[in-house]
């Protein structure tokens, strides 16, 4: 990462972790440069298979690569804590990447995982 830049960052925790990076370390290194955040958790076992080339990204997403917040290997609490410690005041977007072949039934599909992620963040509210 550049020491300084005029370009702000959008940090995606799941994609950073998928690439093998530590989102908490990136958040600390990017003090004052983070403009937007995409919160995503992931299954590290599937991520390792993608990184090694043994599993295609699309198939990994179908297999459940991206999990509700708190269910995977990303230190979401540590990441948010690192940003809050430096005064981050931007948005946190809950993302649930999925491959859908059809429209899910009402109350099914990625909305279920998104609701679980929101509940996880509510629980963290006092712990940050």
Could you read off the pLDDT of 73-102 as tens digits, one per residue? 999 999 999 999 999 999 999 998 888 888
Give the residue extent of every domain in the chain: 9-127
Distance (Å, rounded) from C-alpha 95 to C-alpha 35?
16
Distance (Å, rounded) from C-alpha 34 to C-alpha 32?
6
CATH assignment of 9-127, given 3.40.50.300, 3.40.630.30, 3.40.50.20, 3.20.20.150?
Answer: 3.20.20.150
Distance (Å, rounded) from C-alpha 107 to C-alpha 91?
25
Question: How far does CA 62 lie from the centroid of its chain?
Answer: 17
Put simply, whether the predicted model's pTM sits higher than 0.85 gets the answer yes
The pLDDT of residue 38 is above 90: yes
- With beta carbons less than 8 A apart as the criterion, state whether 61 and 99 touch: yes
Helix axes 76-85, 110-124, angle to 10 degrees: 50
The pLDDT of residue 128 is above 60: no
Structure tokens at 16: 């950073």
Q: Write down the pLDDT at residue 126.
A: 58
């Amino acid at each position: 990462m550049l020491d300084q830049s005029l370009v702000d960052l959008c940090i995606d925790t799941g994609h950073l972790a998928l690439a093998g990076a530590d989102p908490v370390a990136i958040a600390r290194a990017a003090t004052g440069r983070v403009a937007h955040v995409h919160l995503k958790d992931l299954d590290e076992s599937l991520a390792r298979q993608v990184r090694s080339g043994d599993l295609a990204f699309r198939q990994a997403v179908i297999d459940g690569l991206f999990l509700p917040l708190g269910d995977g290997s990303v230190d979401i609490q540590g990441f948010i804590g690192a940003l809050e410690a430096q005064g981050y005041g931007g948005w946190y977007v809950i993302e649930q990447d999925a491959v859908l072949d059809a429209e899910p039934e009402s109350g099914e599909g990625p909305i279920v995982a998104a609701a679980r992620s929101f509940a996880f963040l509510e629980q963290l509210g006092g712990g940050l």
